Structure 1
Amino acid sequence: MRASRAADEIGVVVHGPEVVDSGRAREALDRLERIGSVTAVLGGTMGRVAVIDAALEDRIDISRRETPSRSVQRLMPSVDVVVLLNYAKTAETGLAFGAMVAERAKPHKPLILAEYSGPFASVLAGGAGGIAERIAGALGFPMVAAPQPPGMTASSGRTVTRTIFGAVPGENVSVNGIVIGRAEEERVTISATDGRIVQVLGAEVKEHGLEKIPSVDLEAAILRTGDVRRTEASARRVREPGRDAVLIDHAAEGTFEAARGAGVAVTVGDDTTAIAGEVLARLGIPLVGIVDGDLDMLCPRTVAPKGSYILRVRPGSDDLVGRRVREEVFGGGDRISMEGLDNEDLVDLVKRAAGEDLRSLRRL
């Protein structure tokens, strides 16, 4: 029996590595393709690694780095309904996440959350009618009512406030991949004035982390509590390296984009090195990591690219050494040609920039 016209074109936004690592994303795509034509994209950043490991890049578009709300907006003109696939820590945090995406995307067509932590399906926006029931039935999910958006983002003059729901006390709280504290309550509220974080409620603040974020667009920032990837999978390599060297300085979320055309990467910061290593291992690109032992375990299970080096520097000096490397090795930028150089030459240049702050060098 042919699906009704209203359900013919189904957009799917896959969010986060967990729904992919668990096999649920593959299962959902298989089931939804029985009731309509499916176009699937990744919304978020760290899910890309999971999609590669699961060999799903031919079914889930991972070519863009964009937020889930932006993915929803991009799909809306060409589909009849968008399904947001997610696997949150709890049903409550899943609902809060779905409400946030709907609030930001402002969809003009039906938007349905398929949340595997329940599991359940919920209509986040639009008069979904029978489409929601068909999709929930195909996935084998019960329907639940969506809560009112909890007002996670607020602006007042020059101040922007964001609230994260469902934190587990003791978890890291990060902004764009940089840890700024540890959660003490289930709700963490962050405020920024003129792009500078001025208040963090519900968490013990890590001042050294805040120092690494002199300016941030809080409305667009990636806020997270806990690990960047709670689940595991075997690493799978998908790209041949290039020839350039790139500098990734406390910006691990953008590693896929930064690594285009690169044959080696210099990473600055303990967690940046760990997270970027997860991505670079899939791209076959070794790294030269500058760390000072201040690891927050945002990415506790890491895969080090073969042929990588780790330079441990004086505690608290990774930022300083990173700035010297940018000026002395990369000429003030973040990319240089490796023409006439090999990776050991690059390591020597980084060692020279580290100077007396260097404590040890290890090849992985």
Structure 2
Amino acid sequence: MKIGVVVHGPQIVDSGYAAELIEFLKKYGEVRARLGGTMGRTAVYDAHLEDTIDISEKRLPSESADLFAEEGADLVVLMNYGKSRVTGHGFGYKVFRRSKRKPDLIQIERPGEDDGSVVPWTESVHELAGEIARELHLELVDPDEICRELFHDEPCRDTESNGTEYRRLVGVSENENIFVNGIVVGVSTSDEVTLVAEDGVITEIIGGRIKEHGVEKLGRINLSEAVVKTGLLRRASVKPRKVKRREKEKKKFRVSFLNHAAEDIYRLHSSDLVVTVGDDTTLVAADILYRFDVPIIGITDGDIDRVVREGFRCLGSLIIEFEGGWDDIVGKKIHEELFRGRDSLETEDVESFKRDLLQIIDNIGASYTIRST
């Protein structure tokens, strides 16, 4: 039997269960694994599993599942370690619903917890899922039970005739960041949270406090299809691994520009320096690029949200902090004048580039403070 494993999220990797379960599944057939999602890639590097779990492409979990089906997999196993039973089951429901090919799918959820479970999302794999559940000492959970658990006979989202769209979130705790497509758009103030969008723009968070700056950066979205997460993007305390060392003696250096944390930050791993705009973008980019020995210059305004338990920055990084609202203005000016509207440039002198950047900032006239690493 050909088994395709979709590994989702950093926690299943950080906990050690991804490697353990991949090895376990080999008793049932030929196993191949690939990542589904973005943040798990850093965890794969830290765990030295890049030769075991394919992280070469950025794909949604449902896309990874469909790709395995297209490649002829007889079974797809979705591995996840949600922050709660309900969030994990809700995630599995969305992955299966969004998959186009509807492969034979078994979900292994929260294997290290008392409420860990195995879910057969297709009837044809119910017997095999039961065997896996017994072997792993996990509960076998029926998909119909999950639907009742998640929705209580109510739809998870609805759209009114006037174009207002609602999306109720599951498994939320009070005072958690709410991410939509990688951007923090608000903070929960209760465990019952519903996002409200009008004409594709989030206008209200019922049970939460909206972050206008994040909503503005997010722009128009399809709320029903958006990737929504709550809490920390990476919950574990980890020892980061340096995947490579930067070459410092070069004739030309590549400097990149990044103003959106939801973009594929990993594509910047060969840069020599990255200018990041926004607090969350700076924190996430610095943490990821640390593994590749790439320093950042972060343009921030002090409105930083705690999106990972620990953040790491490469030696030589600068954080330039402005008063509220100035980061986007300054970032736009730098992008226009220094990068000339492009996403990267080459320079023979990084220190000269930094001086030019600071000169642009000084010309704007906004007050700022600099913190170096």
Same fold (TM over 0.5): yes
**Match of residue 349 from structure 2:** 341
RMSD of Structure 2 on Structure 1 (CA): 2.1
Indicate if the aligned counterparts of 2:66 and 2:103 stay in contact, CA closer than 8 A: no
What are the residue-to-residue correspondences of 1:1-364 with 2, within 5 Å? 8-77=1-70, 78-116=72-110, 117=113, 118-146=115-143, 147-148=146-147, 150=151, 151-154=155-158, 160-239=165-244, 241=246, 243-257=253-267, 259-338=268-347, 340-342=348-350, 344-355=351-362, 356-364=365-373
Whole-Å separation in 2 of the counterparts to 1:198 and 1:312? 28
Equivalent residue letter for 1:113: Q
**Match of residue 4 from structure 1:** none
Whole-Å separation in 1 of the counterparts to 2:200 and 2:342? 23
Q: 3-state SS of the aligned residue for 1:127?
A: helix
What is the CA-CA distance between 1:349 and the residue it aligns to? Answer: 2.3
Whole-Å separation in 1 of the counterparts to 2:38 and 2:165? 23
Equivalent residue letter for 1:130: E
Whole-Å separation in 2 of the counterparts to 1:213 and 1:262? 25
Equivalent residue letter for 2:296: L
Q: 3-state SS of the aligned residue for 1:357?
A: coil
From the superposition, tell whether residues 320 and 254 of structure 1 become closer, same or farther in structure 2 (CA, over 3 Å). same
What is the CA-CA distance between 1:164 and the residue it aligns to? Answer: 2.0
Uncovered stretches (5+) of structure 1, i.e. residues with no partner = 1-7
1:20-58 deviation digits (Å, cap 9, x = unpaired): 111111111111112211111111110000000000010
Whole-Å separation in 1 of the counterparts to 2:56 and 2:160? 35
What is the CA-CA distance between 1:169 and the residue it aligns to? Answer: 0.8
Equivalent residue letter for 2:108: A
Q: 3-state SS of the aligned residue for 1:262?
A: coil
1:325-347 deviation digits (Å, cap 9, x = unpaired): 11011111221123x222x2222
Equivalent residue letter for 1:234: K
What is the CA-CA distance between 1:217 and the residue it aligns to? Answer: 3.9
Whole-Å separation in 2 of the counterparts to 1:100 and 1:177? 17
1:284-332 deviation digits (Å, cap 9, x = unpaired): 1111111111111112410111211111122321111111111011111
For normalisation by structure 2, the TM-score amounts to 0.88
Q: 3-state SS of the aligned residue for 2:23?
A: helix
For normalisation by structure 1, the TM-score amounts to 0.90
Whole-Å separation in 2 of the counterparts to 1:334 and 1:220? 27
Aligned residues: 354
Equivalent residue letter for 1:268: V
Q: 3-state SS of the aligned residue for 1:353?
A: helix
What is the CA-CA distance between 1:253 and the residue it aligns to? Answer: 4.7
Uncovered stretches (5+) of structure 2, i.e. residues with no partner = 248-252
1:165-212 deviation digits (Å, cap 9, x = unpaired): 111011111222322211123242223344322332221112232222
Q: 3-state SS of the aligned residue for 1:283?
A: coil
Equivalent residue letter for 1:297: R
Equivalent residue letter for 2:140: M
Whole-Å separation in 2 of the counterparts to 1:67 and 1:161? 22
1:114-148 deviation digits (Å, cap 9, x = unpaired): 01142110112342143223333443423122222
Equivalent residue letter for 1:294: D
What is the CA-CA distance between 1:95 and the residue it aligns to? Answer: 1.1
